[in-house]
Amino acid sequence: MITPFSVLDTRTKEWKQRKDYWITTYGIQSELGREDTESKSQFWDSSSNVSVFDPTLCELMYEWFVPKGGKILDPFAGGSVRGIVAEEMGYKYVGIDLSHKQIKANQKQSSKPFWIQGDADKQLFLLNDDYDFVFTCPPYYDLEVYSEHKDDLSNLNVSNFDAKLERIIYKSYTKLKENRFFGIVVSEVREPSTTGNYSIGNYRGLVHKTISMCERYGMKFYNDMVLFNSQHQASRVGKTYFDRNRKIPSVHQNILIFVKGNPDIATEEIKGGEFECEIEGKKYLTFRHAAISINPNKLVASEVKRRCISRKTKYKNWQIIGEETRPEIKYVIGDIPFESPLQVCDMIEELTESQCRNYFESNAKKFQHWKRVEPKDWNISYKEMEDLWNLSDKAGGVSIYSETIQCGDKKFISVNEAAKECGVSGERIRQKLKDSNYIDWKYLDNSN
Ligand SMILES: C[S@@+](CC[C@H](N)C(=O)[O-])C[C@H]1O[C@@H](n2cnc3c(N)ncnc32)[C@H](O)[C@@H]1O
């Protein structure tokens, strides 16, 4: 509905319609709970003297940067809007706010979001989940002072504010999953100039400080957007400022988007959908998702697809979900299936590939259980093939030689082996094998 350009214009008809939709449909009164706020700002919407976060902005940020049904963390919850929009869009929202009054006012508007009252600096480490998106809007220094509380950022001097904001950003970052986005709305605030405490009113640098704080812990600054607020107030008071000391009235806020990990993987997971392929036991949403997750330098989506449809043994664990390639069983040893002699010598390390090839071709009775078979007679998956391998491993592994004779209750690969074991001559063994009196002495046929 609104194009993802770096300037988001809240003055457009679509934007306002969407905003009204949220406020009227869900009875969002995000201005409630902050009645004691002392606001120095003259630029917010005229309707209330406190800043009210925009539901349309919430909707866009969640739509663009959060996987379906994802979990959203907000260390400075403020009013109800970010929570209600999140829950009504099917996300799980956890918001922390120091102000008891604020939390109460929010909970009256909706019971769906999970609001925690407390100092985010302390509460964040108590959270045990991982989140798919951090989206928040801290106090802008003392532009709005929300309370006298010692932990209230809006109540701190600039250096303590910066230190505490950084800790809260860091702790929020630790709660964010890998390959996810982190969004924070800030704005520049000028040094106040009061009687007897003249200041030139320079900006305090909240925007660039926030960027460095986020980058300090490994997040990458990824999208830089501005929220174009209404000019109504600015045009009312701006002229005074401009004429007096060329201060440009700010009619925007900065929406800073950072990424933790890989934005390509994050985007694939935001788009979501059914898993397309499974590689080495891990499912991926698309071939591209797999390529970037496994090795973005060496793999591309088409190569992942090629490997998934390949029948080569080395790609047996690269599969398209629902179109799994199945092994082409051409060899068996006893009832253990193999696609190639190479697979056999991978399993029976003391044998070489050419030895395995020879045994399959051999007519010797002791290799009678090494057989070539028709692939059409073996309709099994790679997993089933490996399960049979593991079973035979547990049962002592594949026997290279097949017993060819039975002497009483013992079986032997050859007459020589039996003779040595029984301490008699080979001739004696053969006599007993032919002697019908020795019913449990016989030649074995393991060919089937
Ligand atoms: C209201 S928001 C910022 C304004 C923004 N326009 C909005 O509506 O979201 C700032 C919130 O941070 C809260 N806050 C201040 N210090 C805090 C802290 N240490 N931990 C958690 N919340 C805090 C305040 O109570 C306030 O509700």
Assigned domain for 315 exists: yes
Give the residue, out of 153, 161, 165, with the most ligand 1 atoms within 8 A of its beta carbon, to mutate for a pocket test.
153
Q: What is the pLDDT of residue 264?
A: 96
224 with 304, same domain: the answer is: no
Task: Report how far ligand 1's centroid is from the alpha carbon of 75 (Å).
Answer: 8
Q: What is the pLDDT of residue 333?
A: 94
205 with 75, same domain: the answer is: yes
Instruction: Give residue 65's identity as a one-letter amino acid code.
Output: F
Give Cα separations from 173 to 71, 165, 167, 181, 237 (angstroms): 14, 12, 10, 10, 38
116 with 255, same domain: the answer is: yes
Region 208-217 average pLDDT = 97
Region 379-385 average pLDDT = 88
Assigned domain for 360 exists: yes
Question: Does residue 289 carry a pLDDT above 90?
Answer: yes
Determine whether the shortest distance from the Cβ of 119 to ligand 1 is under 6 A: yes
β-strands 220-228, 7-9 pairing: parallel
**Pick from 288, 320, 352: which residue ends a domain?**
320
Dist CA 182 CA 173 (whole Å) = 8
**Pick from 271, 290, 306: which residue ends a domain?**
271
Is residue 164 within 8 Å of residue 156, measured between CB atoms?
A: yes
53 with 192, same domain: the answer is: yes
197 with 99, same domain: the answer is: yes
- Residue 155: closest CA among 45, 76, 37: 37
Task: Render pLDDT for 238-284 as a digit per residue (tens, 0 to 9).
Answer: 888 899 999 999 999 999 999 999 999 999 999 999 999 999 999 99
Determine whether the shortest distance from the Cβ of 188 to ligand 1 is under 6 A: no
Structure tokens at 367: 């290799």
Task: Report how far ligand 1's centroid is from the alpha carbon of 146 (Å).
Answer: 7
Dist CA 60 CA 137 (whole Å) = 15
Is residue 391 within 8 Å of residue 419, measured between CB atoms?
A: no
H helix intervals, 175-297? 206-216, 232-245, 263-271, 287-294
Give Cα separations from 358 to 160, 354, 374, 412 (angstroms): 78, 6, 18, 21
- pLDDT-based confidence at 446, cuts 50/70/90? low
Determine whether the shortest distance from the Cβ of 385 to ligand 1 is under 6 A: no
266 with 282, same domain: the answer is: no
Q: What is the pLDDT of residue 272?
A: 95
Assigned domain for 326 exists: no
Assigned domain for 113 exists: yes
Q: What is the pLDDT of residue 64?
A: 98
54 with 187, same domain: the answer is: yes
If you search the block for the tokens 């406190």, which residue do you land on?
A: 50
Region 354-375 average pLDDT = 91
Assigned domain for 399 exists: no
The strand pairing partners of 95, in sequence order, are: 74, 115
34 with 163, same domain: the answer is: yes
If you search the block for the tokens 């400022």, which residue do you land on?
A: 241
Give me the number of domains the chain comprises.
4
Task: Render pLDDT for 325-350 as a digit per residue (tens, 0 to 9).
Answer: 888 899 999 989 999 998 899 888 89
Look up the CATH number of the domain holding residue 149. Answer: 3.40.50.150
Structure tokens at 284: 């991926």
Is residue 303 within 8 Å of residue 318, measured between CB atoms?
A: no
Task: Render pLDDT for 60-112 as a digit per residue (tens, 0 to 9).
Answer: 999 999 999 999 999 999 999 999 999 999 999 999 999 999 999 999 999 99
Determine whether the shortest distance from the Cβ of 78 to ligand 1 is under 6 A: yes
Lowest-confidence region among 58-72, 357-371, 391-405 = 391-405
Dist CA 130 CA 259 (whole Å) = 15
Q: What is the mean pLDDT of the chain?
A: 91
293 with 431, same domain: the answer is: no
- Planar angle of CA 81, 82, 87, nearest 5 degrees: 100
Which residues are within 8 A (CB) of 311 and not within 5 positions of it... i.e. 6 or more apart? 325, 327, 328
Dist CA 237 CA 255 (whole Å) = 24
295 with 214, same domain: the answer is: no
The gap from C-alpha 255 to its chain's centroid, in whole angstroms, comes to 23
210 with 338, same domain: the answer is: no
Assigned domain for 1 exists: no
Is residue 307 within 8 Å of residue 320, measured between CB atoms?
A: no
If you search the block for the tokens 């020879």, which residue do you land on?
A: 358
Determine whether the shortest distance from the Cβ of 99 to ligand 1 is under 6 A: yes
Nearest ligand 1 atom to the CA of 52 is 8
Assigned domain for 414 exists: yes
Assigned domain for 367 exists: yes
Question: Does residue 411 carry a pLDDT above 90?
Answer: no
Region 299-307 average pLDDT = 95
Which residues are within 8 A (CB) of 200 and not within 5 positions of it... i.e. 6 or more apart? 191, 193, 245
Question: Does residue 293 carry a pLDDT above 80?
Answer: yes
Domain that holds residue 336: 331-394
Task: Render pLDDT for 154-199 as a digit per residue (tens, 0 to 9).
Answer: 999 999 999 999 999 999 999 999 999 999 999 999 998 888 888 8
Give Cα separations from 101 to 11, 33, 41, 142, 143 (angstroms): 31, 5, 21, 19, 19
Nearest ligand 1 atom to the CA of 97 is 22
Identify which of 40-49, 54-63, 225-234 has the greatest average pLDDT: 54-63
Q: What is the pLDDT of residue 65?
A: 98
Nearest ligand 1 atom to the CA of 140 is 3
Residue 349 is given by DSSP the state T
Q: What is the pLDDT of residue 327?
A: 87
Question: Does residue 42 carry a pLDDT above 60?
Answer: no
37 with 61, same domain: the answer is: yes
Question: Does residue 35 carry a pLDDT above 80?
Answer: yes
